[in-house]
Amino acid sequence: MTTPSNAAPESFESQVAAPVVAAETRPFYWSVRREVWENRSIYVAPLAVAAVSFLGFLVSLHGVARSAREVGGMEPAHQHVGLVMPYAHVAWLLLVTGMLVGVFYSIDALHGERRDRSILFWKSLPVSDLTTVLSKASIPLVVVPLVTFVIIVGLHLIMLVFSSLVLAMSGLGIAAQRTLWPLFQMELVLLYGLTVMALWHAPIYGWLLLVSGWARRATFLWVVLPPLVLFAMERVAYHGSFFGWLLRERFIGFAGCAFAFQGAGGVKADPHFIPLSLLTPGRFLSSPGLWIGLIFAAVFLAAAARMRRYREPI
């Protein structure tokens, strides 16, 4: 006679746990997909900018051989900068585009569904307000950076192929090979930079979503008016600019925490090419500004979720 095995209960428990986890994550997953479906600018705008940038790169290909010869005569420390300069320009342009897409999406994310009264339909579904708000927050914090990164890498690869062909026909194939390692470093730094920017700008997007769920009209005005009023009052009353300094730090303060712009010997790094050795993730993760910003972001998102529960269509 065989004895009953203990594997059956464990198997049953694992089978029960899997559907429960899936049921909890499915509403969030489909909410994120809905946002991507309904907001095509998330990927259309970066793709359009990438297409225009590539056309500009094609026009500049006639001078790529001359530029490669000039770079070959530079000091080794400056050669990497010269090799990746065109790639850095298009990357910066797409980074700015992604940031603008995230800002304008967040401004209209909760306001738009009240304006077109679709909030009545979405509230009838078994999806909590917190899940909806978190799915909308994931667009500028996760989806847009990932889309931007994929488009930039794809554009860089296409640019590399075209420039390599031109250099090979000019007898400068070795110049194309020298571009590979700096370009690979650039992609890693780009991924790191996008992650850093998303975490640092989280309270900004949280504020935008909060105002989007509160304002009845002129959402953009309500976004910028309170900071401007506080800045003006501070200048008039105290002749200071502490609040302005806080805003500036929230927008660009991540750079000083996440990167060391001075290498060995005090040599300043060129912003077009930052080597991997100058990344400082430990300093960034230990920065009080990061964690204070994340706390404010959590408060803003919780307030936006609670506000969505009681706000009516416009």
Task: Select from 253, 259, 146 the least CA-distant residue to 194.
Answer: 146
- Residue 234 tokens, joined: 């501070």
Q: Is residue 216 part of a domain?
A: yes
Q: Is residue 156 part of a domain?
A: yes
Q: Is residue 92 part of a domain?
A: yes
Q: Is residue 3 part of a domain?
A: no
- Residue 34 tokens, joined: 């809905």
Cα 82 to Cα 214: distance, rounded to the nearest angstrom: 48
Mean pLDDT within 120-128: 85
Model confidence at 204, pLDDT cuts 50, 70, 90, reads: very high
Judge whether residue 18 has pLDDT over 50.
no
Task: Select from 272, 286, 106 the least CA-distant residue to 185.
Answer: 272
Q: Is residue 59 part of a domain?
A: yes
Q: Is residue 23 part of a domain?
A: no
Question: Residues 57, 162: contact at Cβ < 8 Å?
Answer: yes
pLDDT of 33: 92
Mean pLDDT within 173-193: 79
Cα 196 to Cα 212: distance, rounded to the nearest angstrom: 24
Model confidence at 241, pLDDT cuts 50, 70, 90, reads: confident
Q: Is residue 24 part of a domain?
A: no
Whole-prediction pTM: 0.85
Cα 190 to Cα 254: distance, rounded to the nearest angstrom: 14
User: What is the domain extent for residue 204?
Assistant: 39-310
Q: Is residue 11 part of a domain?
A: no
- Residue 282 tokens, joined: 């430990």
Q: Considering its fold, how many domains does the chain have in total?
A: 1
- Residue 29 tokens, joined: 């997953």
